[in-house]
Structure 1
Amino acid sequence: MLRLVRNIGIGAALVLAASALPSMAQGLTVGVQVPTTGSEATYGQDMANAIQIAIDEINAAGGILGKQVSEVVGDDACDPQQATNAATKLASSGVVGIVGGYCSGATVPTLKIYGDAKLPFIITAANSTKLIPANPGNAFMINSTGNDQVAKAMEVFTKRGLKSLAIVNEGDAYSQDLAELTRKAWTDAGNTVAAFETVNKGEQDYSAVVTKIKAANPDGVFWTAYYADGGLLIRQLREAGYQGLIAVGDGSNSPDLFKLAGEAAEGVIGFSNPTAEFLPGAKAFADAYMAKFGNAPGPYAPLSYDGMKLLAWAIDKAGTTDSAAVIEALKGADFKDGLAGPISFNKDNTLARSNFIVLEGKNGTWALAE
């Protein structure tokens, strides 16, 4: 009887072990950090969707190192505290790497967590220069930084003859960084910052800042924060009679800006990472996205897709999922198959080229600026 019980126990243990093996052998899991709740949830879900398209293609081609791939999403809600919680869970979940990062303010506190876990982290959207000194060396930014955006903005503002500028931000890591970089570059070039305003996220009434801007009468207004609030400010500026140039940073490159601003967004200038509709090589991706999710890919879908493909490339190049080897492969990356263009990195793990394009609001949507 004792032998029978022992055998039954051993058999049960073997069954449990066997049942665990498929989950281990099924493949590799990639962590995806994006906002799927909160004001930027549309962007975050779009990024997760694009990563899934890349994973589908990778799996159809045989996976990574012969293993199928899946994603697990951590919702950071564009909130630093929630991002910290999400990153802690992802870092302890057995993932081989992290792809994502939309809001810079929510991405900064996760850098140490992923760094301590020695996980390769491909940041696909967040681009504040504040990410650079906080990077332990395992994170790689494939969207150009705020410095590149400011250089493009300076080029456009100068070409259009602007001499004075009002700059409006929301005090977060992304928009404040872009605002301060712009102010310095603009004044260093001998121009005037007529107003430098910080407003609260979620503001509905911008009458106070609109009054200040109208009184200062700048040649242009540069909104450096996100579209959900930017659309309201643009509308209220035009309704108040402001006639100067209005420009927005890449946090406002969503087509939804036009739903919020209405006709007031006509002629608005936008600085943007390359989006699918302006990338000839992204048509197959856009078609696959539409077929799977029923809508067009959003502004950060191509970069998110590229981020997943880059991680797969690095693991394949390393020949292992060992983090140190994958990170080393990323440092020397010469990835040429990105929808948004080739990817290689500077010594600080930022994209080695500028990918910014200039858009203009025309007929209720974005078009390439002439």
Structure 2
Amino acid sequence: MHFTRRSTLTLAVAAALALTACGKKDEAAAPAADASAATAAAGATVVQIGFAAPLTGPQAHYGEEYKNGVTLAIEDANAEKPVIGGQPVTFELVAEDDQADPKTATQVAQKFVDSKVSGMVGHFNSGTSIPASKIYADAGIPMVAMATAPAFTQQGYKTTFRSMTSDTQQGSVMGKFVVEKLGAKNIVIIDDRTAYGQGLADEFEKAVQAAGGKVVKREFTNDKATDFAAILTSIKGQNPDVVFFGGADAQSAPMAKQMKRLSIKAPLVSGEMTKTPNFVKLAGKEAEGTIASLAGLPLADMPKGKDYETRYKARFQSDVATYSPYGYDAARAMIAAMKKADSTEPAKYLPELAKNAYTDGVTTSNWAYDDKGDLKDGGITVYQVKNGDWVVLETVGGGVKAGNASAAQ
């Protein structure tokens, strides 16, 4: 077993002071545990699961919703009064803010390794997950990340797994969609130069060309920019049928507003970091017509999506946005692997995680990995903003037949 034993009193004090390291001398420097750990039953073994995502800054809304899903999964698992290795266990979420910054992410990863967490859910961004993955791999700690960049699972680490489909799948679907369903011939691509944004744009470009479309111009910005006047002015003369952006909603929202201001009639097309309520809020009426893809099925079509939506709203007093169901399933898949292996030792439950140990998910009933750690069957859904809300245009894969995309024409 890979755990730390604590009494209820010790847990309460630890949660209050946020001193939650497992066997680490510098307690104050340890990752901060969720206060819910104080509810652990007396005599239970505490098993720590790490979590990292941007919890401050312009991407904090992604990280908080993602964390909520993991929190709900751990609470559900604890309510089942799990017994592993013949002893009752209580799972404890230990969360850290990596600020969507690669350097900070590696520091966070080392902190988790030093604290001897039993497993890792996260990181969120591809740009943080890729450098952090080596640290977890060297320590033998399994990580199930939200990262979608193809490079994440191409490193050859046996400890890296995804909770969403990769950009190879998402980019290929969107590239084909804009050419075949939207009839786009001349396409402009802009990306934010992050591992996620550039990777998604690369895969999209390949698919556009394979479908017979033409990329007439490719530009790039950064993940802090909000003024795109120079780039948009330069592409306006190309008279594009579609403008594709690889990046987050903090950039795609002002981009959408500025496109309308410059009378660029082409729709903005993007990936899942744009498919958020936050994008619609930030872009306002200029969000109308924007198209974005999201890995996986619409919430209503997920095997347990409706039940999850009800319980999530009751627990967090907010709507499900984008990522929390995948965080939920990632944590539950890891816990299921521990139960099947009857051990929380990473080396012992890792083989079970690599297999299909979890068949009762919210997002899918077939949580199965290939030999690289990519999900075998996730599906991709294409959405469009209509009347201030995201509506489904088409779903490809994931057990749902493709929908009618005629509304996007």
Higher Rg of the two aligned structures: 1
Determine the C-alpha separation between the residues in 2 that align with 1:140 and 1:88: 19
Query: What percentage of residue pairs aligned between the two structures are identical?
Result: 29
Quick one: which of 162, 183, 207 aligns to 2:229? 207
How far did residue 220 of structure 1 move? 0.4
Determine the C-alpha separation between the residues in 2 that align with 1:22 and 1:264: 53
Compared CA separation, residues 258 and 277, structure 1 to 2 (3 A): farther
Determine the C-alpha separation between the residues in 1 that align with 2:302 and 2:90: 29
Show the 5 A alignment for 1:1-370: 25-63=44-82, 65=84, 66-123=88-145, 125-157=146-178, 158-273=180-295, 274=297, 276=299, 279=302, 281-341=304-364, 342-369=366-393, 370=405
How far did residue 76 of structure 1 move? 0.9
How far did residue 338 of structure 1 move? 1.2
TM-score by length of 1: 0.90
Determine the C-alpha separation between the residues in 1 that align with 2:304 and 2:93: 25
Could you list the per-position Cα deviations for residues 227-261 of structure 1 after superposition, in whole angstroms to 9, with x for gaps in the alignment? 11100001100111111222111121111101121
Determine the C-alpha separation between the residues in 2 that align with 1:64 and 1:110: 31
Determine the C-alpha separation between the residues in 2 that align with 1:71 and 1:302: 16
Compared CA separation, residues 364 and 18, structure 1 to 2 (3 A): closer
Determine the C-alpha separation between the residues in 1 that align with 2:214 and 2:225: 27
AA matched with 1:131 = F
Could you list the per-position Cα deviations for residues 11-31 of structure 1 after superposition, in whole angstroms to 9, with x for gaps in the alignment? xxxxxx997996684421100
How far did residue 103 of structure 1 move? 0.8
Count of equivalent residues: 353
Compared CA separation, residues 215 and 265, structure 1 to 2 (3 A): same
TM-score by length of 2: 0.82
How far did residue 94 of structure 1 move? 2.3
Q: Which runs of 5 or more structure 1 residues have no equivalent in the other structure?
A: 1-16
**Structure 1 stretches of 4+ moved >3 Å:** 17-26, 274-280
Q: Which runs of 5 or more structure 2 residues have no equivalent in the other structure?
A: 12-21, 23-43, 394-404
Aligned partner of 1:11 in structure 2 is none
Determine the C-alpha separation between the residues in 2 that align with 1:182 and 1:60: 43
- Secondary structure, aligned partner of 2:198: helix
How far did residue 64 of structure 1 move? 5.3
Q: Please state which structure has a larger fraction of its residues in helix.
A: 1
Q: Is the 8 A contact 1:74 1:90 kept in 2?
A: no
Q: Is the 8 A contact 2:6 2:46 kept in 1?
A: no
Determine the C-alpha separation between the residues in 2 that align with 1:275 and 1:135: 31
Could you list the per-position Cα deviations for residues 162-206 of structure 1 after superposition, in whole angstroms to 9, with x for gaps in the alignment? 111111101010001111122223224432111111112222221
How far did residue 302 of structure 1 move? 0.4
- Secondary structure, aligned partner of 1:46: helix
Higher relative contact order structure (alpha carbons within 8 Å, sequence separation ≥ 6): 1
Determine the C-alpha separation between the residues in 2 that align with 1:101 and 1:145: 15
- Secondary structure, aligned partner of 2:115: coil
How far did residue 151 of structure 1 move? 2.0
AA matched with 2:330 = G
Determine the C-alpha separation between the residues in 1 that align with 2:320 and 2:123: 17
